[in-house]
């Protein structure tokens, strides 16, 4: 039976090679024979829906989607990793400390939802708390991930600042080059974030939702959410492939409601990953700039990038050779400035 038929839209899936489908039993079996673990990594919205489902607080449409997703998971027996989505839900943009009470409540309810049996899901039964084991998460801070999340947040604030100006189509190349030069001044380029800038400044409608300000939210909330989306993408495409689990390689598939995140990940695929003592410290990706606003500006864009790429490569090599440390104070100062500007 084709397990993908059980997945209600709008769930999206992507892995190291870009957008993909819900894993079939055949794929999971093929990976297992190669000594590879197949795992679904859930984003925050999916985790929140699971927690709400366990509490009976989802509307009928979302409840149906979650039930179909859980049923497919049970049928193919694929591993599910809600860890990072739960961390996001318990995080704040101003501190690396997690809201531990919130984390405990979310993880408990997510565990209850994931514990429901295939037969129970198929029959439409409700969840009973006494039959569910708790998922224990003892994390109290995001100390390791927080610097990257804060830098991504800073980048998206900068994109907000640039995008707030008029004549975006006419300024598409200037806007991206301004962002590129700003990243260079910050001494850090992240391919996935540059892909977001390429897409948004280039008029790609598929990427709009990534930084859309929803009801009761602010641009700061949107930027923080986008930072997590890109962090998830980076982990799935750059980190997890290099990280064995119990000695086995991983085939991780990210599950999200956000079509924009899947679109960005599919346009920025890693071509090489450099590791240091097993952990990735540098990756190279091919970025796409095939977007409407660049249609008549391709040569000018290429010329501007060629003039900068060699300088960027030299800076990266010198940074590696000299073991230069990243300037986190500069990021903090720039965040303070940009938060004032975009609000």
Same domain, 70 and 150: no
Number of domains into which the chain is organized:
2
pLDDT in tens, the chain (343 residues): 454 444 545 589 999 888 888 999 999 999 999 999 999 999 999 999 999 999 999 999 898 889 889 989 988 999 999 999 999 999 999 999 999 999 999 999 999 898 877 666 665 666 544 444 556 677 889 988 999 999 999 999 999 999 988 778 999 999 999 999 999 889 887 889 999 999 999 999 999 889 988 888 899 999 999 999 999 988 888 888 777 777 888 999 999 988 898 899 888 887 655 555 555 555 667 788 899 999 999 999 999 988 887 777 776 666 656 666 777 899 999 999 999 999 8
Same domain, 193 and 160: yes
Same domain, 225 and 260: yes
Same domain, 281 and 336: yes
- Output the pLDDT for position 272: 57
Same domain, 80 and 176: no
Structural domain contains residue 138: no
- Output the pLDDT for position 321: 61
Same domain, 151 and 119: no
Structural domain contains residue 247: yes
Same domain, 265 and 211: yes
Q: How far apart, in whole angstroms, are the C-alpha atoms of residue 275 and residue 70?
A: 35
Contact between residue 245 and residue 235 where contact means Cβ atoms under 8 Å apart: no
Q: How far apart, in whole angstroms, are the C-alpha atoms of residue 326 and residue 186?
A: 9
**What is this structure's pTM?**
0.87
Parallel, antiparallel, or unpaired: how do β-strands 79-81 and 36-42 relate? parallel
- Output the pLDDT for position 234: 87
Same domain, 167 and 288: yes
SS (H, E, C) 88-110: HHCCECCECECCHHHHHHHHHHH
Same domain, 75 and 166: no
* Residue-range definition of the domain harbouring residue 63: 3-90+99-131
Same domain, 11 and 60: yes
Structural domain contains residue 15: yes
Structural domain contains residue 222: yes
Structural domain contains residue 141: no
């Amino acid at each position: 039976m084709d397990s993908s038929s059980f997945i209600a839209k709008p769930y999206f899936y992507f892995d190291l090679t870009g957008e993909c489908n819900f894993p079939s039993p055949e794929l999971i079996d093929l990976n297992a024979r190669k000594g590879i673990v197949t795992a679904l990594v859930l984003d925050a919205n999916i985790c929140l829906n699971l927690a709400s489902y366990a509490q009976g607080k989802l509307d009928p449409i979302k409840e149906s989607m979650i039930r179909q997703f859980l049923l497919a998971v049970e049928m193919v027996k694929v591993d599910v990793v809600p860890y990072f989505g739960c961390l996001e839900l318990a995080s704040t943009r101003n501190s690396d400390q997690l809201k531990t009470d919130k984390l405990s409540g979310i993880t408990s309810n997510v565990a209850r939802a994931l514990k429901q049996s295939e037969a129970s899901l198929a029959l439409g039964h409700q969840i009973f708390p006494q039959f569910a084991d708790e998922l224990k998460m003892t994390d109290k801070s995001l100390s390791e991930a927080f610097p990257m999340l804060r830098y991504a947040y800073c980048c998206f604030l900068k994109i907000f600042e640039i995008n707030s100006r008029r004549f975006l189509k006419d300024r598409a190349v200037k806007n991206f080059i301004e962002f590129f030069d700003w990243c260079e001044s910050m001494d850090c380029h992240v391919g996935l974030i540059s892909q977001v800038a390429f897409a948004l400044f280039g008029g790609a409608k598929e990427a709009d939702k990534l930084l859309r300000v929803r009801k009761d939210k602010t641009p700061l909330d949107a930027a923080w959410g986008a930072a997590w989306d890109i962090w998830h993408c980076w982990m799935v495409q750059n980190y997890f492939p290099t990280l064995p689990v119990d000695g086995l390689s991983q085939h991780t598939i990210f599950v999200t409601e956000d079509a924009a995140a899947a679109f960005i990940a599919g346009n920025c695929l890693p071509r090489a990953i450099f590791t240091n003592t097993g952990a990735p410290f540098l990756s190279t990706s091919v970025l796409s700039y095939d977007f409407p606003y660049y249609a008549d500006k391709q040569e000018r864009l290429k010329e501007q990038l060629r003039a900068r790429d060699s300088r960027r490569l030299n800076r990266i090599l010198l940074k590696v050779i000299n073991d230069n440390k990243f300037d986190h104070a500069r990021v903090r100062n720039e965040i303070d400035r940009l938060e004032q500007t975009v609000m």
